[in-house]
Chain A
Amino acid sequence: MHIKGYILQLLARHEAMWDYEIADAVMADYGLAGDYWYGTVRLTLTDLYSGGLLTEVDTAIDPEKSGGVERLLLRFALNDFGRERMRQTGLLEVVT
Chain B
Amino acid sequence: MSDVVKADVAKKQQLREDYRNRQVRWGFIWALWCAVLWGAWYVPGYAIYFEAPFVGLANGTGELMLAALVVAFLNAVAVLLAMFVWVAVLGKTSDYVRTMRQTKISWWYLPAGLAGGLAIFGTYVAVVYVGPQFAAVAALLYPIIGALTARVWYSERITPQAAVGILVLVSGGVVIFTPGLISELTGSGGTGWIGYLAGAASFVGWGLEGAIAGRALDVSDPDVGLTLRFTTEVGLYVVVAVPITAILAGGALWTALGTALTNPAVWLMLVLMGLTFAFCYVAWYKSFPLIGVGRGQAIAALYGPFALVWLSVFQLTRPSTEFIVGALIAVVGSFILFTERRGVLEIIRAVPARTASAAPAVPVEGSGRA
Contacts and interface: CB of A to CB of B under 8 A. Distances in A.
B23 A79 contact: no
B367 to A, nearest CB: 5
B361 A93 contact: yes
B367 A92 contact: no
Nearest to B103: A90
Contacts, number: 159
Contact of A85 (B98, B219, B360): B219
A87 B218 CA distance: 12
Nearest to B12: A59
Given A2-B102, A61-B12, A61-B15, A44 B221 contact: yes
Interface string B195-219: 0000000000000000000000111
B16 A92 contact: no
B102 A89 contact: yes
A61 B103 CA distance: 39
Nearest to B8: A61
A10 B207 CA distance: 33
Nearest to A29: B368
Interface in B151-195: none
A1 B290 CA distance: 23
Nearest to A90: B104
B354 A49 contact: no
A78 B353 contact: no
B50 interface: no
B353 A55 contact: yes
A91 B290 contact: no
B362 A12 contact: yes
Interface string A63-95: 000000011101001111101011111111111
A58 to B, nearest CB: 10
Contacts of B95: 2-3
B348 A51 contact: yes
Interface of A: 1-6, 8-10, 12-16, 29-30, 32, 36-37, 44, 46-53, 55, 57, 59-61, 70-72, 74, 77-81, 83, 85-95
A70 B8 CA distance: 12
A62 B208 CA distance: 43
A18 B18 CA distance: 19
A52 B362 contact: no
Interface in B121-168: none
A83 B218 contact: no
Interface in B281-299: 289-291
B349 A51 contact: yes
Q: Which of B16, B105, B347, B353 is the most central at the interface, judged by chain A CB atoms within 10 Å of its CB? A: B353
Contacts of B358: 12-15, 78
28 contacts: A2-B220, A2-B221, A3-B221, A13-B358, A15-B357, A29-B368, A47-B217, A47-B290, A48-B218, A52-B351, A55-B353, A59-B15, A60-B12, A71-B15, A79-B352, A79-B355, A79-B356, A81-B352, A81-B353, A83-B356, A85-B218, A86-B361, A87-B361, A89-B218, A90-B105, A91-B219, A92-B363, A92-B364
